[in-house]
Amino acid sequence: MKRYVISRIIFMLITLLIIISFTFFLMQTLPGSPFNDEQLSEFQREQMNERYGLNEPVPKQYLNYLTNLVKGDLGVSFQYDGRPVTGIIKERIGTSAVLGIQSLIFGTIIGLALGIIGALYHNTTIDYASIIIAVIGLSIPNFVFAGLLQYWVGVKLEWLPVAFWRGFEYTILPTIALSMFVIATVARYIRTEMIEVLSEDYMLTAKSKGLSRFTMIWRHGVRNSMIPIITIMGPLVVSLVTGTLIVEKIFSIPGLGDQFVDSILTNDYPVIMGVTIFYSALFIFVVFVVDLLYGVLDPRIRLSGGDK
C-alpha cells in the first residue's frame, strides 16, 4: 500500500509537470499580447515586456517560470497592476470550494435518495418521476436553472438574495443550480445499481436471516451500490469546477472560475498559468483519492499485491 501511494505521488508530479509545460508552450500561441493597450507607446510596450521577462527566448522564460514555481512564486498579475497570483488564487479559491463542496454534498444526498426510492419502487409512478427529474437535471444546463432560480425565487418571490456571496442565504440558489447535474447523475447510477443489487442472492439471504427491511436495504443494498458513485465522483468534481464558471458569473460570486476566463481574454499569462496549475493539481488529487476509496469501500479491489 505504502509503495503504491509513493509511486502514485511520483506519477502525479510527473503528470503535473507535463501539464505545466504544455500549458506554458500553448500559451505562447495565444493571439494578442498582454501589453498591446492603445494607451501604451511602442517604447513603453517594450519596457513592459522587458520588466516581465517577456522579451527573453521562450525556453529561458520556461526555465525561469519553473524555478520560481519551485520557490512557490507564481508571479504577479498583468491585469491587476502587480497583484501576486498566489494572492488572487487564495482569495477566490475558498468561495469556489465552498460552492463546489456544498453542491456535491447536497447533490449526492438528494441524488442518493431519489435513486434509492426509484429502485425500491421500480416501474411505478414514483420511479418514473425520479427518472424524469434525472433526465431534466442531465439535459438542462445549470445556467438555465441558475437564471430561472434567480428570477423566480430571487426577484419574483423575494425569498432569497438575487446574487452576491455574503452569507449562507446567498449560497442556497447557486448551490441548487449547480447540484442539479449531481443529483441527476447520482440518482441515475444509484437506481440502476440498486435494481441490480436488490436481485442479488445475498439480498435473499439477508431477507431469510430475518433482517428488517430497512437494515436489509441500508446495510446490504445501499452500501453495495455505492461503488459506482465513487467512480463518478472524479468526473463530477470536474464538471462542478467547470460548472462554477457560469454559475459564478450569474450569481456574481467572486470565485476562481470567472477569473480564469478573464485572464485568458486579457492575456494575463501568470494568472492563466497559476489557475491551470491549481486546477490540474486538484483534479489529479481527486482522481488519486477516488482510487484509494475504491480499496476502502470494496476489499475485492486491491491496490497492491495481496500481502497485507
37 scored as a contact of another protein (CB under 8 A): yes
Query: Which residue from 54, 66, 140, 162 is in contact with another protein, where contact means CB under 8 A?
Result: 162
Q: According to CB under 8 A, which residues from 110 to 149 bind another protein?
A: 147
- Amino acid code (one letter) for 247: V
Cα 49 to Cα 45, 88, 289: the distances in Å are: 6, 22, 41
Q: How far is the CB of 226 from another protein (least distance, A)?
A: 7
Taking the mean position of all CA atoms in its chain, how far away is CA 231? Answer: 14
Among the listed residues 60, 183, 70, 62, the one whose alpha carbon sits nearest the alpha carbon of residue 116: 183
What gap in Å lies between CA 289 and CA 205, rounded to an integer? Answer: 33
What is the SS3 assignment for 108-145? HHHHHHHHHHHHHCCCCHHHHHHHHHHHHHHHCCHHHH
Return the residue of 120, 138, 226, 282 that touches another protein, per CB under 8 A.
Answer: 226
Which of 3, 6, 26, 51 is close enough to bind another protein by CB under 8 A? Answer: 51
Among 20, 24, 34, 74, binds another protein (CB under 8 A): 34
Q: Convert 189-199 to b/e letters by CB count within 10 Å (16 or more is b).
A: bbbebbbebbe
Q: Rg of the chain's alpha carbons, rounded to an integer?
A: 24
Which position among 12, 16, 19, 47 is part of the footprint of another protein (CB under 8 A)? 47
Q: Which residues in 242-301 contact another protein (CB under 8 A)? A: 249-252, 254, 258-259, 262, 265-267, 293, 296-299
Query: Binding-site residue total for another protein (CB under 8 A)?
Result: 65
Contacting positions for another protein (CB under 8 A):
31-34, 36-44, 47-48, 51, 79-83, 88, 91-92, 98, 101-102, 105, 108, 147, 150-151, 154-155, 158, 161-171, 219, 223, 226, 249-252, 254, 258-259, 262, 265-267, 293, 296-299
